[in-house]
Structure 1
Amino acid sequence: MNFSRARLLCFSALFVLSGAAWGSVDNVGTYNLILKNDLSTSSDIEGRIMIGGNINGSSTDVGSRIPLDADVDAVTVVGDINAPSLKAQNGHIVYGGNANTNNIITNSSTGQIIKEDQSLLQTRFDEIFQSVIDDSYYYKNLAANGTFNTSDQNKKLFDSDATDELLVFNIDGDDLRYGGLEFNFMPSVPIIINVAGTGELNINAKAQGNYFNKDTVSPLVLWNFYDYTKLSFNGDGWNGSVLAPYADISSYTGSLDGGIAALSYTGGVEIHNKLFTFEPNTAGPKDEEIPVPEPSTWLIFAGGFWLLFRQYKLNSARN
């Protein structure tokens, strides 16, 4: 890569980052899985993953439902790859630690295996995970415009007649331990469900009625477990994306349909790439404006250098 292109890439990166607030950083609308710590799984993950710790467990396939794109990383892991086999069906595999296996595969014609500077990957990851924390905090403080009726424990109903572009429900985690969950309307706009509670939550509640429509409803729903430290998804699995920035998550039954952001994940079920793509508008009316921190100078330059270094590695690998 010549100097003029390198300089252009770097300046472009600085321009983009200098004007970006945390809310614009990649999140569960970009990644199928974002984990601060380790991933341990024996099943496929259809979308992109960003792992701050290590990838452990059995053989894992990633990225079967992402576009074939020469610029997309299917796997980004700051730490080590300890799984006996790791395959990216589309996109690149990028790691910062050690690859403790000889069986790392990129299945597409453009996919590459790239070793990058771990400190730069850590900076990028910290930025993304901060957006997870900020989004979770923002959502939990939104006013509810829907109700949750638990009079029939076998058919707990979400209901709203609001015409807003975003529906918000506040519920208690104990209501997810058993029973059925259903929308009393056909969801057509994004939905935030804030779940109050702390500690450990074993979830056995099952989707019913309109909520069971995974293809159309799951991408519209985001569950915000903003204070929990451990979540176990049981029963038929789970529909909808999950924000749980302080929780370790496990699941061994059904499937998980949506993006997941958490401390760690251990499981044996497929994670489907049905992402919640709503972007929160953190700046409301002027007198109610919520301050969103801008990236500091060092982060702007680190981000610009990371993109420059990333392009250099790709070009070097191709040549």
Structure 2
Amino acid sequence: MPRFLNLFICAFLTVAGLTLGATPSLAGPLTAAEVLSQFNVVTFGNLNAFSEIQGRTLVTGNLGGKLSTYYTRPSEVNASNYGALTVGGKVTGALKTIDGNGDAYIAGNAQNMHMNGGTAYIKGTVISNVTGNQQIVPAVDVPNFKPVMDQLSTDLKGLATTSTVTISGKRATFTATPGADGQAVFSIPNGDAFFKSTNEITFVLGGANSFIINVGGSSMTVIENFLDGIGATIAPMAIWNFYDATSLNFNREFYGTVLAPNATISNIFALNGSVIAKDFTPLGAVHLASYSGPLPSGPKAEIPAPQSAALVGLALLALCTIRRRRT
């Protein structure tokens, strides 16, 4: 083979190796605060959606369910290097629409998706009915947010209680006594008993800029109404930390971030804030209200090791070098 042609082929293969090693969804690790800021929904298992999720969504397992829409309020979503939708498994069920020119990254097979301006990057097979821009890619990396969110739940549980919850009739009043950082910490050791004994919630803000509500118990159904518009006020400032929960059912509109990394969650009416769950079946919408208060510092989430473009390219280059020496 002529030397110039051999060099051309080597150069082509090296560049090809760099290109094939690229992983478009690789966006880097995040802290717990960054996860809550950048994502509206994160599940460590499956998402079976039936409604609207206004912000960014990450599903570690499979995305199924009926008609659902994602990324419907792009102008209100905090900046991120992640796409509008990331799925670690497959996409099945009825049509999933990704709005707002948002991109989707699907590690498994995909069907019944409509990209409204963005691009679907799919590692698996397009089974049927994926409309709009799409690309088949060699890899889709899904970050492992579970350890940092578990740690956040543990850290929040360990905070000293500074504020009180009183019950009068069926009304629960959360009276905030914030610390120097403006944070008010509440404790509800028996969440099941609390939610069964009340049907109204109000807050006395007390100048607090954030509210951490630590809730014990494994299985709860929430039917509380938030009074006098207080829900909309506290939604971006509150985290409900269901640290032991395995099952949560929200049968009223709810306000504040729901942190329940080991729970299966369902809702009938809107949840206003980020939802961190094991598995999630949203029958009602999930609205943006990203938590903006202080959090304990912690480690960043891990991401899978990407295919190394550099190593692929160097390996091909080495093979070419050996070939040249032999010719």
Report the TM-score, using the length of structure 2 for normalisation. 0.73
81-90 or 70-79, which deviates more: 70-79
Q: Secondary structure at the match of 2:148?
A: helix
Structure-2 residue corresponding to 1:218 = 235
Q: 5 Å matches for 1:129-144?
A: 129-144=146-161
Q: Which residue of 2 aligns with 1:27?
A: 35
Kindly state the Cα deviation for residue 188 of structure 1 after the two structures are TM-superposed.
Answer: 4.8
Looking at structure 2, the residues matched to 279 and 120 of structure 1 have their Cα atoms a distance apart, in angstroms, of 35
Q: 1:300 to 1:211 in 2, by over 3 A?
A: closer
| Residue aligning to 2:258 | 242
Instruction: Tell me which of 56, 71, 95 is aligned to 2:106.
Output: 95
Instruction: Provide the C-alpha distance between the structure 1 equivalents of 2:104 and 2:81, rounded to a whole number of angstroms.
Output: 11
User: Equivalents in 2 of 1:79, 1:300: separation in Å?
Assistant: 15
Percent identity (aligned): 24
Displacement, 1:65? 1.2
**Cα distance in 2, alignment partners of residues 130 and 72 from structure 1:** 19
* Residue 81, structure 1, aligned to residue 91, structure 2: yes
Q: Any stretches of 5+ residues in structure 1 without a counterpart?
A: 283-291, 307-319
- Could you tell me how far 1:28 is from its partner in structure 2? 2.2
- Determine the C-alpha separation between the residues in 1 that align with 2:263 and 2:149: 12
SS of equivalent residue, structure 1 residue 209: coil
Give, in whole Å, the separation in 2 of the partners of 1:182 and 1:294.
Answer: 34
8 Å CA contact retained: 1:153, 1:179:
no
Which of 130, 145, 162 aligns to 2:162? It is 145
Q: State which of 53, 58, 63 in structure 2 corresponds to 1:50.
A: 58
- Please tell me whether residue 113 in structure 1 is matched to residue 120 in structure 2: yes
1:264 to 2:273 alignment: no
Name the CA shift for 1:70/1:185 in 2 (closer, same or farther; >3 Å): closer
The answer to which structure has the higher strand fraction is 2
Distance 1:70 1:225 in 2: 26
**Helix, strand or coil for the counterpart of 1:137?**
helix
**Residue of structure 2 equivalent to 1:37:** 45
- Where 2:84 maps in the other structure, the secondary structure is strand
Instruction: Give distance in 1, aligned partners of 2:98 and 2:206.
Output: 35
- Separation of aligned partners in 2, 1:218 and 1:255: 12
Is structure 2 residue 220 aligned with structure 1 residue 201?
Answer: yes
Deviation at 1:185, TM superposition (A): 2.7
- Separation in structure 1 between the aligned mates of residue 111 and residue 42 of structure 2, nearest angstrom: 21
Q: Residues 209-247 of structure 1, C-alpha deviation per residue, up to 9 Å, x if partnerless?
A: 3523x1x3211111000001000001x221111000110
**Greater CA radius of gyration, 1 or 2?**
2
Select 1:125's aligned residue among 135, 143, 150: 143
Q: Is the 8 A contact 1:34 1:129 kept in 2?
A: no
Per the alignment, do residues 208 and 301 of structure 1 end up closer, same or farther by CA in structure 2, a change over 3 Å counting? closer
Distance 1:60 1:294, change over 3 A: closer
Kindly indicate whether the alpha-carbon contact (under 8 Å) linking 1:197 and 1:227 is maintained by their aligned counterparts in 2. yes
* Residues 1:293 and 1:222: Cα distance change in structure 2 (over 3 Å): closer
Amino acid paired to 2:226: A
Asked if the contact 1:193/1:221 (under 8 Å) is kept, the reply is: yes
Contact 1:183 1:210 in 2 (8 A): no
Distance, in Å, in 2 between the alignment partners of 1:38 and 1:157 is 35
Contact 1:185 1:210 in 2 (8 A): no
1:60 matches 2:76: no
Deviation larger for 262-271 or 224-233 = 262-271
Q: Is the 8 A contact 2:42 2:59 kept in 1?
A: yes
> Which among 270, 279, 285 is matched to residue 255 of structure 1?
270
- Root-mean-square deviation (CA, aligned residues, Å) is 3.2
- 1:302 corresponds in structure 2 to 305
Post-superposition offset of 1:66: 2.1
